[in-house]
């Protein structure tokens, strides 16, 4: 061992000397080279069976994963090979998941923007027949008819379902957090609220339809039925998010309030809820964003209208999702479907904008209005 | 305004578990009483029974009598809310309401009960409460700022001001300085010394020097072992407890030979 | 007995307490009643379909032979969605929790949440008008090379409006559910185990396999179950994308049907017995999804008891 201390310590690393810790590792250029050759081979391979971007990308990705893994296995061993294989696979999963997102957003923008006219936004489909569409295609004039009635319906039905769901959802959450701790009833509610989040939206629609059918006779279709159906979907979301937010409020604040001689209900209403309100509001906004795009329950409860209806308590009503659905599934003019498709995509763009605004709004509410702790 | 408390044969239960057993104690008006003892001896639990705050914990029940100037807190017709507005409480960690300004925090007891109060009365109440808690000079220019922006010691004095504003006869303090730095602790102790001119103060503390500095009388609580209930071992003038206690366990505790 | 000064306080506020707590409890009970009412009303309105003369129902052979093919269709569509979405969803979750740079992880999470925010009808028209035509060459390739398998039997649909397309669209829709739930679980994996594995010289994948995946197994199962619940009940994607027909084995041919789409497509024009029949179908769907969700929740609650020990 003493000999070891006598051997001269190697001087500072010489420029062209390789670090011994990186021995048996792939040089840094290896993977890009594999990638490039995979691209070339992929392009070549795809021309064999009729060139297309899709097949080229698929071949390239497969060749790259196989090639890069093989190179790693040969140089660095099997364990490193497995590791890099899964690294590529997992990155690939993420890219794969982005494809539909980008494709959907791009399609909706590309096809929806041309239809986003003031005519589209501020007229209804009242009196719009296939003949009108045929005429505008033949003359090359702008597409007539719009989604104003559907926007009105969407806003009204969503507003009514919010009015129904928020008080019930918030009160139930207050019961769970403030009154029901450890009670069998609260455990039951928690479980069934979770189960309720999984109710298919069409079943919620059928329920509301059946309920009003029993009360007012079969095939009762009006806005309020749809609002009830959406409430069934919305309440569990509101309960869950409110519950989470109320649980975060520190118990110390409740005790401080009780110690001042404040009653429990005033404590909840004036201390607990104001402290949690930003989180609750953001949760409610997300719940609205979720139900505003629902189609199936509206189909079976509110029917479809072409005219503007401001009254949720009588007659059929259209919403943006059902408008999109019917414009695509049964175009106004069966021979010239382009005007209908244009209206549908414009409505889709409008709907996505609404949903995105609600989602961003929810994040903004949570950030801006949360109580400043200063700690 | 200051009131006395007489406790006789008090037992506290959590479900079936007896946490505190057979406490008898008389706490005089316009005095500072300190509760000392090892962790888990039930002194905080006992303190909370003095304004029925223990009822916030599910399953907690009380047997016995607590008389506030002769009126039993546990008589059937008594509303805990009435009790708490006459016996205030300050907690271990400063807990100003985060959604309220400094001013609103002081007025919390009034406003949360939806009591009507004129603007000038409110201003007077805010000033007098903050003066009484030695905080006025530090915050008078920023009454509309959030209370949570203050330092820990200032927040705790704000909580005391908030308690004073309800005009209670008794103020209970549950280790009010344990989350504070030494300088803030000193400010609170000075405040407690001034407060006994107007209020009956009961303070739970882990810090025996603090008990010796601020209190007139001291109660020593102890526990025989885990699972056993906490008991009041000795209650006497603070000077006696710390210099010449009559029970061996008290002497062991105050001289640091214990726990 | 002396009068107690404490009893003479303002008692009026007590009413407020009572009203408030009663209101809160009633709201909770109302939710339970609603769920019960959903089952009850569906049952009442569906009853005629169960008791009617079999010849009067669609298909003319009774309710069972009407519902059976569409139950199978529902299960097939959901199964395709789960088979496709589970590996990708887990990969994305792992990417966000363990591979992406720290600073990017949260924004990438939002991006995946955006997938969940897009309304189902938009996925439906996207699947119908954009995705389906793109997939036709792929289906032809599958039919040419794997046509001997019944699932890839021809003739291939020229519009691409097939079960497989519907399954792909459903997969896109349940992906964010699987991702966000399993991401939560992956992030909860005990950091000490991970560091211990890395300190032993494990590669990143070995660390994930040794300390993250075993920890997350129950969470992954329940995430997949919840995704399955969503896929079973999803209506629009199938109603718009699938060119419906009778139950057939081939996934790349027009045909098959799911419960939800059957209801959506036929309900607006239905009346009388046909309506009862569709409501009965909805009841069947409700029972299936309820069972799936309850199993998922049960797994989660059992898992929570275990994770408490960590």
Q: Which residue of C has its CA nearest to B79?
A: C7
Bridge partner list, B62: B12
How is residue A330 annotated by DSSP? S
d(CA B75, CA B69): 14
How close B145 gets to chain C, by Cα (Å)?
31
B91/A263 touch (CB, cutoff 8 Å), yes or no: no
pLDDT in tens, C188-225: 878 788 888 888 888 888 888 888 888 888 888 888 98
Q: Are A305 and A293 in contact (CB under 8 A)?
A: no
Angle between helices C272-307 and C62-94 (to 10 degrees): 40
d(CA A279, CA A369): 9
Q: Are C59 and C279 in contact (CB under 8 A)?
A: no
B78/C5 touch (CB, cutoff 8 Å), yes or no: no
- For B82, B132, C37, C74, C87, the CA distances from C292, given in Å and listed in that order, are 51, 63, 20, 13, 20
Of A252, A260, A371, nearest to B112 by CB-CB distance is A260
Of C124, C131, C233, nearest to A201 by CB-CB distance is C233
Residue C122 makes CB contacts below 8 A (sequence gap 6+) with: A104, A108, A293, A324, A348, A351, A352
d(CA A335, CA A137): 10
Q: Which residues of chain A have pLDDT under 70?
A: 1-18, 49-51, 218, 371-375
Q: Which residue of B has its CA nearest to A179?
A: B58
For residue A138, count other CB atoms closer than 10 A to its CB: 9
Better pLDDT: A12 or B81: B81
d(CA B44, CA B130): 27
How close A185 gets to chain B, by Cα (Å)?
16
- Tell me what pLDDT residue C303 has: 65
- Tell me what pLDDT residue A5 has: 47
Question: What torsion do the CA atoms of B119, B122, B128, B131 make, to the nearest 10 degrees?
Answer: -90
Number of domain units in chain B: 1
d(CA B58, CA C124): 51
- The residue whose two tokens read 């897009």 is C118
For chain B, the residues whose C-beta falls within 8 A of a C-beta of chain C are: 68-73, 75, 77-79, 81-83, 85-86, 113
C6/B68 touch (CB, cutoff 8 Å), yes or no: yes
Q: Are A351 and A108 in contact (CB under 8 A)?
A: no
C266 in contact with A, Cβ within 8 Å: no
Supply A79's token pair.
């364990």
- Local structure of B143: helix, strand or coil: coil
Please check whether residue B210 lies inside any domain of the structure.
yes
How close C169 gets to chain A, by Cα (Å)?
9
Residue A167 makes CB contacts below 8 A (sequence gap 6+) with: C27
The 3 state secondary structure assigned to chain C is CCCCHHHHCCCCHHHHHHHHHHHHHHHHHHHHHHHHHHHHHHHHHHHHHHHCCHHHCHHHCHHHHHHHHHHHHHHHHHHHHHHHHHHHHHHHHHHHHHHCCHHHHHHHHHHHHHHHHCCHHHHHHHHHHHHHHHHHHHHHHHHHHHCCCHHHCCCCCCCCCCHHHHHHHHHHHHHHHHHHHHHHHHHHCCHHHHHHHHHCCCCHHHHHHHHHHHHHHHHHHHHHHHHHHHHHHCCHHHHHHCCCCCCCCCCCCCCCCCHHHHHHHHHHHCCHHHHHHHHHHHHHHHHHHHHHHHHHHHHHHHHHHHHCCC
- Tell me what pLDDT residue A17 has: 65
Contacts of C9 in chain B (CB under 8 A): 78-79, 81-82, 85
C13 in contact with B, Cβ within 8 Å: yes
Bridge partner list, B68: B5, B71
d(CA A294, CA A296): 6
- Phi, psi torsion values for B19, nearest 5 degrees: -90, -35
- Tell me what pLDDT residue C309 has: 34
How close B178 gets to chain C, by Cα (Å)?
30
Contacts of B56 in chain A (CB under 8 A): 254-255, 258
Bridge partner list, B232: B221
Place C310 in a pLDDT band, splitting at 50, 70 and 90: very low
B183 in contact with A, Cβ within 8 Å: no
How close C263 gets to chain A, by Cα (Å)?
8
Instruction: Round the CA-based radius of gyration of chain B to a whole number and report it.
Output: 18
pLDDT in tens, A35-82: 888 788 877 777 776 667 777 787 788 888 888 888 888 888 888 888
Please check whether residue B160 lies inside any domain of the structure.
no
pLDDT over 90, % of chain C: 22
For residue C193, the Cα-to-chain-centroid distance in whole angstroms is 32
A258/B53 touch (CB, cutoff 8 Å), yes or no: yes
- For B68, C6, C7, the CA distances from C11, given in Å and listed in that order, are 19, 11, 8
Please check whether residue B223 lies inside any domain of the structure.
yes
Query: Does the pLDDT value for residue C304 go beyond 70?
Result: no
Contacts of C31 in chain A (CB under 8 A): 168, 172, 189, 192-193, 196, 235-236, 239
Please state the pTM of the whole predicted model.
0.83
Of C25, C94, C100, nearest to A179 by CB-CB distance is C25
Supply A123's token pair.
């007229």
How close A168 gets to chain B, by Cα (Å)?
24
Mean pLDDT (chain C) is: 84
Place C117 in a pLDDT band, splitting at 50, 70 and 90: confident
B89 in contact with A, Cβ within 8 Å: yes
Mean pLDDT along residues B35-46: 88
pLDDT in tens, A241-287: 999 899 888 888 999 999 998 889 999 998 999 989 888 998 899 89
Contacts of B86 in chain A (CB under 8 A): 261
How close B171 gets to chain C, by Cα (Å)?
17
Domain harbouring B83, CATH code: 3.40.50.300
Q: Are B61 and B13 in contact (CB under 8 A)?
A: yes
Please check whether residue B125 lies inside any domain of the structure.
no
Candidates C1, C2, C3, C4: best to mutate against B (most CBs of B within 10 A) is C4
- The residue whose two tokens read 């071949």 is A59
C206 in contact with A, Cβ within 8 Å: yes
How close A325 gets to chain B, by Cα (Å)?
45
Of A181, A270, A275, nearest to B112 by CB-CB distance is A270
Q: Which of C290, C305, C288 is nearest to C71 (CA)?
A: C288
B86 in contact with A, Cβ within 8 Å: yes
C207 in contact with A, Cβ within 8 Å: no
d(CA A285, CA C206): 41
Please classify residue B200 by burial: count the beta carbons closer than 10 Å to its beta carbon, then call 0-12 exposed, 13-18 middle and 19+ buried: buried
C4/B83 touch (CB, cutoff 8 Å), yes or no: no
Mean pLDDT along residues C151-175: 87
Helix (H) or strand (E) holding B13: strand B5-14
Q: What is the ipTM of this complex?
A: 0.88
Helix (H) or strand (E) holding B145: none
Helix (H) or strand (E) holding B12: strand B5-14
A275/B58 touch (CB, cutoff 8 Å), yes or no: no
d(CA A312, CA A159): 10
Query: Chains touching chain B at 3 or more Cβ pairs under 8 angstroms?
Result: A, C
Q: Are A94 and C92 in contact (CB under 8 A)?
A: yes
C9/B72 touch (CB, cutoff 8 Å), yes or no: no
Bridge partner list, B27: B5
Please check whether residue B116 lies inside any domain of the structure.
no
A194/C118 touch (CB, cutoff 8 Å), yes or no: no
A93/C95 touch (CB, cutoff 8 Å), yes or no: yes
How is residue A124 annotated by DSSP? -
Instruction: Please give the residue range of the domain that contains residue B250.
Output: 5-96+172-254
d(CA B143, CA B123): 11
How is residue A334 annotated by DSSP? S
Contacts of A80 in chain C (CB under 8 A): 203
B72/C6 touch (CB, cutoff 8 Å), yes or no: yes
A103/C111 touch (CB, cutoff 8 Å), yes or no: no
How close B219 gets to chain A, by Cα (Å)?
23
- The residue whose two tokens read 């001013």 is B103
Place C122 in a pLDDT band, splitting at 50, 70 and 90: very high
B77/C4 touch (CB, cutoff 8 Å), yes or no: yes
d(CA B58, CA C170): 47
User: Which of residues 56 through 85 in chain C touch A, CB cutoff 8 A?
Assistant: none
Bridge partner list, B222: B231
B112 in contact with A, Cβ within 8 Å: yes
C20/A268 touch (CB, cutoff 8 Å), yes or no: yes
Supply C73's token pair.
């269709």
- For A146, B24, B41, the CA distances from B18, given in Å and listed in that order, are 73, 16, 12
The 3 state secondary structure assigned to A58-123 is HHHHHHHHHHHHHHHHHHHCHHHHHHHHHHHHHHHHHHHHHHHHHHHHHHHHHHHHHHCCHHHHHC
C4/B68 touch (CB, cutoff 8 Å), yes or no: no
A103/C230 touch (CB, cutoff 8 Å), yes or no: no
Please check whether residue B229 lies inside any domain of the structure.
yes
Query: Chains touching chain C at 3 or more Cβ pairs under 8 angstroms?
Result: A, B
Q: Which of C61, C46, C37 is nearest to C282 (CA)?
A: C46
Candidates A254, A261, A369: best to mutate against B (most CBs of B within 10 A) is A261
Mean pLDDT (chain B) is: 89
Region for B52 from its dihedrals, namely left if φ exceeds 0, alpha if ψ lies in -120 to 50, beta otherwise:
left
Mean pLDDT along residues C160-187: 89
Q: Which residue of B has its CA nearest to C11?
A: B79
Q: Are C38 and A204 in contact (CB under 8 A)?
A: yes
C95 in contact with A, Cβ within 8 Å: yes
Contacts of A266 in chain B (CB under 8 A): 112-114
Q: Which residue of A has its CA nearest to B149?
A: A374
Mean pLDDT along residues B2-23: 90
């Amino acid at each position: 061992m003493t000999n070891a201390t006598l051997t001269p310590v190697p001087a500072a690393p010489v420029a062209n000397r390789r670090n011994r810790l990186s021995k048996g590792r792939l040089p840094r250029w290896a993977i890009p080279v594999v990638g490039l050759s995979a691209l070339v081979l992929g392009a070549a391979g795809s021309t064999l069976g009729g060139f297309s971007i899709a097949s080229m990308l698929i071949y390239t990705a497969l060749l790259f994963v196989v090639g890069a893994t093989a190179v790693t296995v040969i140089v660095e061993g099997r364990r490193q090979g497995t590791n890099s294989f899964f690294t590529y696979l997992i990155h690939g999963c993420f890219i794969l998941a982005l494809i539909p997102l980008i494709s959907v957003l791009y399609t909706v923008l590309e096809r929806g923007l041309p239809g986003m006219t003031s005519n589209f936004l501020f007229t209804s489909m009242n009196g719009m027949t296939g003949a009108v569409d045929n005429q505008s295609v033949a003359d090359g004039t702008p597409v007539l008819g719009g989604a104003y009635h559907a926007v009105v319906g969407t806003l009204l039905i969503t507003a009514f379902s919010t009015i129904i769901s928020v008080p019930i959802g918030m009160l139930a959450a207050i019961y769970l957090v403030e009154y029901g701790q450890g009670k069998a009833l609260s455990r039951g509610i928690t479980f069934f609220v979770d189960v309720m989040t999984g109710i298919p939206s069409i079943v919620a629609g059928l329920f509301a339809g059946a309920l009003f059918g029993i009360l007012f006779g079969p095939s009762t279709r009006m806005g309020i039925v749809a609002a009830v159906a959406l409430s069934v979907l919305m309440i569990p979301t509101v309960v869950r998010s409110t519950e989470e937010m109320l649980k975060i409020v520190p118990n110390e604040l409740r005790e401080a309030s009780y110690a001042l001689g404040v009653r429990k209900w005033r404590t909840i209403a004036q201390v607990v809820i104001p402290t949690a309100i930003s989180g609750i509001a953001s949760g409610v906004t997300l719940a609205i964003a979720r139900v505003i795009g629902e189609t199936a329950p509206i189909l079976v409860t509110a029917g479809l209208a072409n005219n503007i209806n401001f009254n949720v308590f009588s007659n059929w009503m259209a919403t943006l999702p059902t408008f999109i659905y019917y414009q695509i599934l049964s175009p106004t003019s069966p021979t010239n479907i382009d005007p209908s498709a244009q209206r549908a995509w414009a409505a889709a763009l409008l709907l996505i904008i609404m949903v995105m605004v609600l989602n961003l709004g929810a994040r903004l509410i949570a950030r801006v209005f949360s109580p400043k702790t200063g700690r | 305004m200051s009131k006395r408390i007489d406790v006789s044969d008090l037992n506290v239960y959590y479900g079936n578990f007896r946490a505190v057993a057979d406490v008898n104690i008389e706490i005089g008006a316009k005095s500072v009483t300190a509760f000392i003892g090892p962790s888990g001896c039930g002194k905080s639990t006992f303190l909370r029974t003095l304004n029925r705050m223990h009822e916030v914990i599910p399953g907690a029940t009380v047997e016995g009598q607590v008389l506030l100037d002769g009126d039993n807190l546990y008589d059937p017709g008594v509303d805990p809310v009435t009790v708490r507005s006459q016996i205030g409480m300050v907690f271990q960690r400063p807990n100003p309401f985060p959604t309220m300004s400094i001013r609103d925090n002081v007025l919390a007891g009034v406003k949360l009960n939806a009591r009507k109060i004129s603007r000038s009365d409110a201003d007077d109440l805010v000033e007098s409460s903050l003066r009484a808690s030695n905080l006025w000079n530090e915050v008078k220019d920023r009454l509309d700022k959030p209370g949570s922006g203050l330092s820990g010691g200032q927040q705790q004095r704000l909580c005391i001001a908030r308690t004073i504003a309800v005009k209670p006869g008794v103020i209970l303090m549950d280790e009010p300085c344990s989350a504070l730095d030494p300088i803030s602790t000193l400010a609170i102790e000075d405040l407690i010394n001034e407060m006994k001119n107007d209020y009956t103060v009961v303070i739970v503390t882990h810090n025996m020097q603090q008990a010796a500095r601020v209190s007139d009388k001291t109660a020593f609580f102890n526990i025989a072992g885990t699972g056993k209930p906490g008991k009041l071992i000795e209650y006497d003038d603070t000077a006696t407890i710390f210099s010449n206690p009559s029970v061996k366990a008290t002497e062991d505790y105050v001289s640091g030979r214990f726990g | 007995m002396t009068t107690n000064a404490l009893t003479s306080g303002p008692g009026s506020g007590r009413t407020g307490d009572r009203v408030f707590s009663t209101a809160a409890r009633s709201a909770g009970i109302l939710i339970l009643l609603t769920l019960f009412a959903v089952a009850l009303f569906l049952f009442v309105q569906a009853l005629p379909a169960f008791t009617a003369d079999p010849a009067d129902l669609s298909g003319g052979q009774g309710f069972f032979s009407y519902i059976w093919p569409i139950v199978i269709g529902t299960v097939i569509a959901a199964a395709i969605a789960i088979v496709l979405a589970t590996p990708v969803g887990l990969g994305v979750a792992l990417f966000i929790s363990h591979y992406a740079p720290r600073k990017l992880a949260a924004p990438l999470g939002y991006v995946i949440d955006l997938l969940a925010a897009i309304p189902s009808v938009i996925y439906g028209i996207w699947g119908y008008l954009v995705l389906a035509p793109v997939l036709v060459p792929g289906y032809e390739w599958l039919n040419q090379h794997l046509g001997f398998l019944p699932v890839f039997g021809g003739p291939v649909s020229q519009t691409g409006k097939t079960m497989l397309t519907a399954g792909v669209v459903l997969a896109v829709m349940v992906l964010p559910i699987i991702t966000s739930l399993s991401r939560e679980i992956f992030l909860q994996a005990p950091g000490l185990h991970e560091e211990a594995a890395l300190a032993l010289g494990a590669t990143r994948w070995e660390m994930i396999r040794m300390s993250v995946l075993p920890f997350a197994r129950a969470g992954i199962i329940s995430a997949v179950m919840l995704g399955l619940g969503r896929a079973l009940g999803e209506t629009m994607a199938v109603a718009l994308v699938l060119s419906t027909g009778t139950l057939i084995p081939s996934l790349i041919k027009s045909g098959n049907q799911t419960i939800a789409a059957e209801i959506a497509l036929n309900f607006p024009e239905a009346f009388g017995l046909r309506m009862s029949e569709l409501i009965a179908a909805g009841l069947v769907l409700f029972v299936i999804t309820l069972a799936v969700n309850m199993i998922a929740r049960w797994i989660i609650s059992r898992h929570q008891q275990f994770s408490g020990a960590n």
